[in-house]
Homo-oligomer: A and B are copies of this chain.
Amino acid sequence: MPQIRRAMNAGQKERRRDDVLDAARRLCIGSDMSALSMDAIAREAGLAKGTLYLYFQTKEELFLALLEQDMEGWLASVEAAFAEALPSDHRALAKFIAAGLIERPLMTQLFARLPAVLEGNLPDDVALAFRLRTVRRTDAFGACLERALGPIAQGQGARLSQWVFAMIVGVHQIANPRPRMQRVLESRPELLARRLDFESELADALTALLDGIAPTA
């Protein structure tokens, strides 16, 4: 299943690392993240279990890499879009964010599970490096928000950035029941009727939040 037999140079190694992450991503989407074993990832990637440990020191490091891959891509897409044109108003901004997350179904889920991952078997230096990159991303996204929200948010970008992420995580948890609960909900019409749509709910909630932060914008 792997394209190349042996990843010899840096480029091939990076591709192989990505292969592993892709395999993990496929499995996460298909079933449930917490049920994911290194064994299963290796099988899905068409590699031996030991090979995974050549690319990731521990399982947790792999998950972290998965999250960061998505976040970097997402952040880049936000920055690219803002460079072209800033959202016209809060609702547009909120919808843009929500739409971007829909394209990366795993990112929100991984972010929500982050605490569990961080508590696992993670070398301290990996945890620290992750945190430092998280700070950088928070600031970068904060800068985007400041530009979009105008003078009112000046200097508050990082905080707002965190509030936005808090809302994303929270709405995700409420609007995206995991498979098992999904099944339960589907057995009861009155519960099904109260189902929320993640994208629109998040857009609405973020709009309200932004409205509250920067009333006139």
Q: A131-B191, A191-B135 are in contact. Are A124 and B184 (CB under 8 A)?
A: yes
A97 within 8 Å of B by Cβ? Answer: no
Give the size of the chain A interface in residues (CB under 8 angstroms). Answer: 56
Q: Which residues of chain B have C-beta atoms less than 8 A from A180's C-beta?
A: 118-119, 122, 124, 127
Query: Are A167 and B167 within 8 A (Cβ)?
Result: yes
A-B pairs, top 10 by smallest CB distance, nearest first, are A166-B170, A212-B212, A211-B212, A208-B212, A170-B170, A169-B170, A119-B178, A166-B171, A163-B205, A208-B213
A187 within 8 Å of B by Cβ? Answer: yes
A46 within 8 Å of B by Cβ? Answer: no
Pick the most buried of A167, A191, A210: most chain B CB atoms within 10 A of its CB.
Answer: A167
A58 within 8 Å of B by Cβ? Answer: no
Nearest chain B CB to A31 CB, angstrom units? 10
**In whole angstroms, how far apart are the Cα atoms of A174 and B138 in the complex?**
11
**In whole angstroms, how far apart are the Cα atoms of A131 and B195 in the complex?**
12
Q: Which residues of chain B have C-beta atoms less than 8 A from A86's C-beta?
A: none
A106 within 8 Å of B by Cβ? Answer: no
Q: A131-B185, A181-B131 are in contact. Are A162 and B196 (CB under 8 A)?
A: yes
Residue from B113, B166, B168, B170 within 8 A of A116 (CB atoms): B113
